[in-house]
Structure formats: structure tokens, C-alpha cells
Structure 1
Amino acid sequence: MDVTIIETSGLGDRSYLVSAEGRAAVIDPQRDIDRILDLADEKGVSITHVLETHIHNDYVTGGLELARTLGAEYVVADGDDVGFTRRAVRDGDVVDVGPMSFAVLHTPGHTHTHVSYVLRDASGSAVGVFTGGSMLHGTTGRTDLVDDDDTVELTHAQYHSVRRLAHELGDDVEVYPTHGFGSFCSATPASGDSSTIGDERQNNPALTNDEQTYVDQLLAGLGAYPAYYAHMGVINTEGPAPVDLSLPEPVDPAELRRRIDSGEWVVDLRSRTAFAAGHLAGTFGFELSTQFATYLGWLYRWGAPMTLVGEDRDQILSARRELARIGVDKVTGSAAGDISSLAGGDALQSYRVAAFDDLAGALDRDEVTVLDVRQTTEFDGGHIRGALNIPLHELLARRDEVPAGEVWVHCGSGYRASIACSLIERADRSVVLIDDAFDKAPESALVS
């Protein structure tokens, strides 16, 4: 029996292809199912079952389309009121996939109806458990994504679900969560790339703390999560449309400028230093990296048309794939190539890139503003003296609070700060991007 991990690092999630003797099942597939189809072809296996642990809040599932494409059985929790045909399972059910089987355990917490699947081999021995957003590596799934009024109840339920998994499964059983590798669905950062039930007994807060301590610590640690989460559950419950990963229609420089001037979302995918060196006025800079979809989805006005600007066709296609995973489908145009050519004769805008060492001298000047776009909890843990804290996800609504004049912008690494620079740039502001790790900030400039 083989368990293959399908990593989606941009969202901090994993899907799984489980195969034996030519048959396979997929757990929690992402929307871009071509990766799974290619993997199954490579391994020479037929996917007969697609299993969901829960209705996801952080991405659009590919489960429905994968099942329909292959004629596979689509397995979803009985408690989920969905708009499509599926096999509804509840606690105690068994999904038989020939040489292996999946036993259903109701593990509420991340959602009310959440289930986990215990993988058993042909002998009936439990060898792994697919825990979705329940037991993660060294942590658990967050419990505040359903309804604020349900959070405390779900947190208690999460504690008991993780305890049930530990009670019913042996120490050597592998733990295969969907979330926890950078996903905001994780209550706290996960630890390590692999784990067993035995490892979790030693490290998981739901297993090392009493119930009230676990609940209090989880609730106290919950921070903001991306705004696009509000749309994922609705899409997944209704049944997502088939994915479109084709190249958006190319637009010429004149049309590109028209879209910018009309206030449409025109997103530049190039590196943050390339954007700083020269970009089209009015565009937003979202470097295509592992955090791209999370932060663009967090700030994006849902349903607005979007045009992508990139160095080449491949960059734009990669961005479209990332966006499709979170349901941003209204990508209405693209422009690839040298940025000067795409400007159509217009002058490019630019701003300075600096390091924290450069900031030390600037702080002595009264007219300088330091804008910290980290989350409030990060700011409270230590910040530059006199800095203005506006978390990135709040910046579009609050950018008028940023003073005119010279504004140095930073985050924890430079990525969020680069997005912020593109959002606040205007004629009466001289923006400076601090493209540097916060731990390199001079101690003399820090307030603990």
C-alpha cells in the first residue's frame, strides 16, 4: 500500500492518493485535479473513490469534478447538506476500496460534521488516519470558522475528537492531516512533515493538557484569517464549477491602461524588487510566491474582474492555477512581457528598496513614518518605536490613515510589505520598501 502526498504549499494543505493493487482513493483533493490525474497515470492506478473529511473553508475542492470525471464514488459526511449527489457517510461506516478500507470516525471541532478516515490494510490493521482539520502535527485545526457563537462548543468538541483518535488508534498509526503546513486553518503552527499517534501523544496540546487549559489556550491564540474563507464553504456546499486553467485573454497596452484607469484589479506578478524598480501606475504588486493566493484572496474584492501582468505566459498560468484554488475565477485578461513595452509609452513608477540597517538613520527624522503591516499579535510582540501598525488585510480600508511624506513599510520578511507599498503608493507619498527579515531590525530601534 502506498500513500502519496500531493502538496499545495501556497495554501499550506495536503491531499493524498492512497493506492494498492491498481486501485486508489483520493482524500481532500484540491481544485486543480490534473495533478492527481497525472499522478494516477504515472502510478498506473485507477481512482475509484474520492473522500472529503469536511466542507473546506480555505480552498475550493476538486472532489466533485474528480469524481464526475472518473465515475468514482464521492464520499462526504452525511451531516453536510450539499447540492450534489454523493455517498453520505456517518460514524462507523466503512468505505471498501478492494485491498484497503477506510473506517469513518466523526471528529467534530474544525466543523460540526467533520470526519476522519482510518486506513486499514487487507488484514484489517490500522496503518494511517486522514484527519483533515482535526488532529494536526503538533496542533489542531482552528474552531472559529463556522460561526462565532459555535466556537467554544467546537473547541471542546475538538479536544474530545483528538482524544478519541488517540484512544482508538495505536502509537504506530501514521497521521495524515489536510491542514497545518502553513494553512490559516491550523490553530497554531504545525510541527514537522510527518507524525504518528505516538508522536501526538507527546506533542499535541489536546493530549498534553487538560480540557479547559486546551480550550483557553486555543481561543486565546486565534488570530485573523483570510476574508476569502467566507466564500469557500458556500462554493463547496453548492458544488464547484469545473476548473478553468487556460491562459486569460491577452490585452494590449491601451486596454491595460484603460482597465487600470477604470479601477479594475490589475495585478503584477513579478518579484517585489522588479516591481519596485518599475511598474505601471495603479497596479497592485503581488509577487507570485508561496503566499500569493492567501494574501491576494484576503484583499481582493470578491467577484471583481482581474487582469494579470507577468514576465511570461508560464507565470500567468501559474497565478491562474493558484487563484482557481480559492475560487477567484473572474480573471478577464493577461499581459506578458517586458514591463516597459506593456506601459505603451507611459512612464513607469518606482520606489526605493532598503534594509532595516538603512532605517536606523531615517528614524531620527521627524517627517518619516514607519508602517508596520504585520498582524496585531506580531506587533505586540515587539516593534519599531513610533511605528504605525495597520495589518495588511486592513490596509485597503485604512490607507487614508497613512500620512503623506516619506513612509518606510515593513512586515516580517518583506513580502506583505511589498504588497502594502503598491496599495498606498500615491503622488504625495515617498514609499520605501524594507525588504528584510524583522529579526534584523537594530535593537536600538525596537520597542519590546
Structure 2
Amino acid sequence: MKIEQIYTGCLAQGAYYIVSNGEAAIIDPLRETQPYIERLKKDNVTLKYIFETHFHADFVSGHLDLSKKTNAPIVYGPTAKPEFEAIIAEDNETFQVGSITIKVLHTPGHTMESSSFLLMDENGKETALFSGDTLFLGDVGRPDLAQKAANMTQEELAGLLYESLYSKILPLNDDITVYPAHGAGSACGKNMQKETVDSLGNQKKTNYALNQKDKQSFIKAVTDGLLPPPAYFGMNVAMNKKGYDSFDEVLSKGLQALSPDEFEELAEHSGALILDVRNNEDFAKGFVPQSINIGLNGDFAPWVGALVVDVKQPILLITNENEEEETVTRLSRVGFDNVLGFLKESFNAWKESGKEIDSVNRISAQQFEQEIKEKDAKIIDVRKESEYNAEHVDEAFNKPLAYINKWINLIDPTEHFYLHCAGGYRSMMAASILQARGYRNFSEIEGGFSAISQTDIPVSDFVCQSKILK
């Protein structure tokens, strides 16, 4: 038997590839299926089942494409109602994969159909738990995402989650290995550990949600401090439940190379968003007017989901050369399938064509220090609230990037302000959005708070973020 965790850092998501005696199972596959097909071929095994822990909200699963290419059936837990052919398992139903057995444990609470999969080895020993979004390392699944569909409050869903965890999972043996669907950085939980695999026994000791004195204290603990879910989550659930275009078709359409003239004409007539995924340093020096910068070398896909929101939005890409396929792939993972093409030979082609370019007024932390000595300064910190509370520039306002669409209209366009994040990745996103909407009276600070903290600019006393979150 072999269990392989296929972890994708950008999404903080874990898919699982399990092989036993010539047969395989895959749990919560990513959108692009070719790597799985190649792995199956290399191992000379047949894919028997595709298990889905629930209708995912934060990414689009590859279950449909993978099933079409392999003829392996898709398996959901009880109460799931997909709009395509699938096996809807009963609670405690078992599935044989080679010499091992996988048992379905219906564990509602995160969503109503949420299920965990308990693996028993060839000797019948309970060995591994694929816990989906029911149990994370250090946390449990947020119980507020399925309220509308379930006609329940988040407190009622949290109560269901309590019953699932305390009656189905906590009685299992301590030596069972827990393989969750997500790790730190995912918006599906609030307090996840950085590790991606752990023993159930250690989680029983260290996970706050598994150490509550009663059901009411559990409900309070897991619902406290929940931030609003990203707006694209509901659209991803719909795609996972109803179906979607083949990834191969999405990739083929997105990889249309466009000359500067073709790119410009398509941008004007399609209403497409121009998405520039180069790093923030290159973007600051020059970009196509009205472009939005979300760097590929970061939490790219979740930020696209949070800031662009509408998965049907037409998109035109500006990437570094040879990064076009990776960009289209990562967009498709969160449901952004309407990529119309990319600028051939990247921004250099646009620049050499003589077309208009724009840039951001980026200054160093040292220049920032000099300027604010000489005048009253308005400073906007776009980091998360927890980062700001831990340590920030004195007198700075906290306006998290995730909520820019709510606070942008409160900005006075006639009043100059300074803009920063932790290192420049998020503040350049904010700067590009601001400029695309006509706000230009600001300076963005290179290196963000990391660079600012090396100057003599007054900052608040440091408070450990882990203490803030508790």
C-alpha cells in the first residue's frame, strides 16, 4: 500500500493518491488531471474510485475530467446531490481498493454532505483518516459556508460538526494518521497548523476544537472570529456540484498568443480584465494601463478569487514568457475559465510597440521616512487585521486588501496617502486596483513593513499574532 499526499501550496490543499495491489483511489483531485493519468500509467495501476469529501468552495475539483478519462466512478457521502452520475454512499459503507478498504464516515457540519474516509489496511487495521474539511490540523472546518443551502444557522451547523467529531472521529485510535484537505493559509479554517500530516492522538491533545468541555463551548469556540468567506466560494461550489468545461478546452482557449494590437483590440471589445501576473517589482516599473497586478509567485489563485470574484469574468493575461500555461492552470483551479489569451512576448512586446504604458509611484522605506518627517502623512496598511494588531506604523490606518472593494470609495482622491503591506506583494495589488479606478495621489512603499521596520519610523509595540488569534 502507498499513500501519497499531493500538496498545492497556493491553495493550501491536499489531494491524495492511494495505491494497493494494482488498483488506485484518488481523493479530492486538483482540476488538471494529466499528472494523475501519468502517475497511474507509471505505476501500472487502474483507478477504481474518485472520492470527494464534499462540494469544495475554495477550488474546483478535477473529479469530472478524471472520471471521464478513466471511467472511475465518483463517490460522495450521504445527502450529496450532484447534477452528474456519481455513487452516493451510505454512512459506514465500504469500498475495496486492491487489498485495502475505505469506509465512508458521514461527518456533516462544514457542509451537509461532508464525509471523511477511513482507510483500513490489508490486515483490517484502521490506519488513516482522510478528514476533508471536517478536521484540520489545529482546527476544524468553518460551519458558516453551507447556511443558505442547509437552511440552518452557523450555530446549528457547528452543533452538527460537534456531533460528527465527538461521535465519529474522537473514538478512533490515537495512532491513526490524519490527512486533511487543507493546511495553513486556507480560508476554510481560521487556526490551522503549518504541518500537513499528524496523528489523531496528537490532534486530540493540541486541537482547541477537540478539547471543549461541552457542545455549547465548542459552538462558541469554532464560530468566534470567523471572517467573511471569499465571494467566489459559492461559484466554486456550483461548478463542483453542477459541472464545468473540460480543463483541456479551458487551457486551449487560454493559450491564444496575441500581438499587442490584437491584445488591445480584444481588451477594448470584450470587457476583459487585464491581469498582469509578473512580480510586483517589474510591474511597478511599467505596465499596460488598467492592468491589475496579482503576482503568480504568491497566493495567486485565492487572491484572484477574492479580488476578481466573478469566475465568468473574461481575462487577458500578461505573464513572464513560458508561464502562460501555469497561469491558466492556476486560474482554472479556482474556476476562472474564461481566459481569452495572453500577450505574446510579454510586456516587452507592448513597450516596444510604442503603446501607452503606466507605472506606480513606488518609493523606498528610506524616502518614506524622510517625507513623513516633513509633513503630516496619511498611511494605509493593507495587511490583515491580525498582522496590523501585532505591530504597525504609528497613526497608520488598517484597510485590509481583502476588503478593498468596500473601502476604496472612502478614499479622498485629492488627499495624498502612503500605501504598504508586509513586503510589497499585496500593496502592489492594491495600487493597481486604485490606479485602474482613477486614484493616483499616493505612494506605494517598496518592501512594505519589513523594510519600514529597519528605519527609525515609530511603530507600535510588538504583540505575538498567536496570542491575538486566541
* TM-score category, normalised to shorter length: over 0.9
Q: Deviations over 1:17-73 (max 9, x none)?
A: 000112100011111111211222232222111111111111111112212211112
Task: Give the alignment of 1:27-66 within 5 angstroms.
Answer: 27-66=27-66
Residue 306 of structure 1: aligned partner: 315
2:428–2:444 CA contact under 8 A, matched in 1: no
TM-score, with structure 1 as normaliser: 0.92
Q: Which residue of structure 1 aligns with residue 417 of structure 2?
A: 407
Matched-pair contact (CA < 8 Å) for 1:421–1:433: no
From 387, 394, 401, the equivalent of 2:403 is 394
- Alignment match, 1:141: 141
Give the conservation status (yes or no) of the 8 Å contact 2:115–2:131. yes
Task: Let me know the Cα RMSD of the aligned residues.
Answer: 2.3
* 8 Å contact kept, 1:110–1:154: yes
Tell me the TM-score normalized by structure 2: 0.88
Deviation at 1:184, TM superposition (A): 0.8
Aligned match for 2:458, one of 421, 428, 445 = 445
Residue in 2 that maps onto 1:249: 256
Determine the structure 2 residue equivalent to 1:214: 218
Counterpart for residue 431 of structure 2? 421
Residue of 264, 282, 285 corresponding to 2:293: 285
Using the TM superposition, give the Cα deviation of residue 365 of structure 1 relative to its aligned residue in structure 2, in angstroms.
Answer: 4.4
Matched, 1:271 2:274: no
Moved more, 115-124 or 233-242: 233-242
- Structure 1 stretch 341-350 or stretch 31-40: which is displaced more? 341-350
Post-superposition shift, 1:402?
Answer: 2.6
Percent same amino acid at aligned positions? 26
SS in 1 for 2:443: strand
8 Å contact from structure 2 (residues 184, 191) kept in 1: no
Query: Separation in 1 of the partners of 2:266 and 2:317?
Result: 11
1:345 to 340, 345, 354: 354
Q: CA distance change for structure 1 residues 341 and 64 in 2, over 3 Å: closer, same or farther?
A: closer
In the TM superposition, residue 307 of structure 1 has moved relative to its aligned partner by 0.2
Aligned pairs for 1:132-211 (under 5 A) are: 132-147=132-147, 149-211=152-214
CA distance in 2, matches of 1:293, 1:167: 34
Give the Cα separation in 1 of the matches to 2:370 and 2:220: 43
150-159 or 368-377: which moved more? 368-377
The SS at the match of 1:403 is: coil
Could you give the per-residue CA deviations for residues 152-181 of structure 1, whole angstroms, max 9, x where no partner exists? 112222233222344332111110111224
What is the CA distance between 1:309 and its match in structure 2? Answer: 0.7
What's the CA shift for 1:406?
3.9
Change (3 A) 1:46 1:365: farther
CA distance in 2, matches of 1:201, 1:222: 22
1:373 aligns with 2:377: no
The 8 Å contact of residues 108 and 161 in structure 1, kept in 2 or not, is answered as yes
Residues of 2 paired with 1:409 and 1:261: CA distance? Answer: 30
2:326 counterpart of 1:318: yes
Q: Tell me, what secondary structure is at the counterpart of 2:237?
A: helix
Q: Is the 8 A contact 2:76 2:86 kept in 1?
A: yes
How far apart are residue 8 of structure 1 and its match?
1.7
SS in structure 1 at match of 2:130: strand
| Distance in 2 (alpha carbons) for counterparts of 1:392 and 1:224 | 13
Secondary structure of the corresponding residue to residue 198 of structure 2: coil
1:293 alignment partner, SS class: helix
Q: Distance in 1 between matches of 2:40 and 2:65?
A: 15
Q: Residues 71 and 338 of structure 1: is their aligned pair in 2 closer, same or farther, counting only changes over 3 Å? A: closer
Deviations 1:106-135 (A, max 9, x none): 111211221111001111111101000011
Residue identity matched to 2:85: T
Aligned residues of 2:190 and 2:226 also touching (Cα < 8 A): yes
Letter in 2 for 1:237: K
Kept in 1, the 8 Å contact 2:318–2:346? The answer is no
2:103 corresponds to: 103
SS in 1 for 2:331: helix
Distance 1:430 1:257, change over 3 A: farther
Partner amino acid for 2:260? P
Is the contact made by 2:258 and 2:344 (CA closer than 8 Å) also made in structure 1? no
Rounded Cα–Cα distance in structure 1 between residues aligned with 2:89 and 2:440: 60
Q: Tell me the SS of whatever aligns to 1:136.
A: coil
Describe the shift of the 1:296–1:167 C-alpha distance in structure 2 as closer, same or farther (beyond 3 A): closer
Q: Distance in 2 between matches of 1:21 and 1:428?
A: 63
Contact 2:170 2:204 in 1 (8 A): no
- 2:155 counterpart letter in structure 1: V
Distance 1:95 1:30 in 2: 22
Gaps spanning 5+ residues in structure 1: where?
none
What is the rounded CA distance, in whole Å, between the counterparts of 1:362 and 1:110 in structure 2? 49
- Structure-2 separation of matches of 1:446 and 1:330: 44
Task: Give the distance between the partners of 1:164 and 1:439, measured in 2 at CA.
Answer: 50
Distance (Å, rounded) in 2 between the aligned partners of 1:440 and 1:382: 11
Answering whether residue 442 of structure 2 is matched by residue 433 of structure 1, we say no
Look up the SS of the partner of 2:262 in the other structure.
Answer: helix
* Secondary structure, counterpart of 2:218 in structure 1: helix
